[in-house]
A = this chain, B = another copy of it.
Amino acid sequence: MNSIAYIIDDDSAVRDALQWLLQSRGVQCQAWDSADAFLASATNELFGCCLLDVRMPGMSGVELFDRMRSIQCQLPVIFLTGHGDVPMAVKALKDGAFDFVEKPYDDNALVDKVLAAFAHDERRIARAESVNLVRQQLAQLTQREHEVMQRILAGKLNKVIADELGIAMRTVEVHRSHIFEKMQVRSAVELSQRLATLGDTGAT
């Protein structure tokens, strides 16, 4: 899995300069001259980070950022801007942008930021994968199994669960066994821990 810096800027000189800089440091790049072009060609699984010009004809960088988030693209975004605008920077960062850099940028600092964004994205992907695994396992559970699991996680005894659902204890045991099998755990404790990963946001 290779990290790629996705450059979106309408100015070909800027694109070329960024590509030259990053590639000279061993960073793979892909460049687009508009937000629309980027969205059209690469909406699927991306990995790395985005270098996004704030001011562009057509869809602005900020709009593209919103659009990406609305289609579940969580790629870290480094904004590039020519005119220092504090409120815009603040809003972008509070909305989850990874960084906000003024042009002219310092080459070394920018490369560092890209690498930091790469590292950030690697952690994000790792988290997303483990969360996805759990989601897939949860999706395999039947409705009844969900009802039972929920009560297991509430620490209830099979007997109590059976009473609540109006079924025999033996049936609960069977469901319980199926749940453990599908979730690939061997105890209620492991089940609880596996599901705990869903709630975690994993800060930093």
Contacts and interface: CB of A to CB of B under 8 A. Distances in A.
Interface string A177-204: 0000000011111111100100111110
A133 B78 CA distance: 39
A201 B152 CA distance: 25
A102 to B, nearest CB: 5
A34 B141 CA distance: 60
What is the total number of copies of this protein in its complex? 2
Interface string A41-80: 0000000000000000000000000000000000000000
A122 interface: no
Contacts of A202: 201
Nearest to A109: B87
A199 B196 contact: yes
A25 interface: no
Contact of A89 (B86, B155, B191): B86
A81 B94 CA distance: 18
Given A86-B100, A90-B100, A90-B101, 6 more contacts: A87-B102, A89-B93, A153-B189, A155-B186, A155-B187, A188-B189
Interface of A: 81, 84-87, 89-90, 93-94, 99-102, 152-153, 155, 185-193, 196, 199-203
9 smallest beta-carbon distances between A and B, as pairs: A201-B203, A196-B196, A192-B192, A155-B187, A84-B86, A93-B93, A188-B189, A155-B190, A155-B189
15 contacts: A84-B84, A89-B89, A90-B93, A90-B101, A93-B93, A93-B94, A155-B190, A188-B188, A189-B189, A189-B191, A192-B192, A196-B196, A199-B200, A200-B200, A201-B202
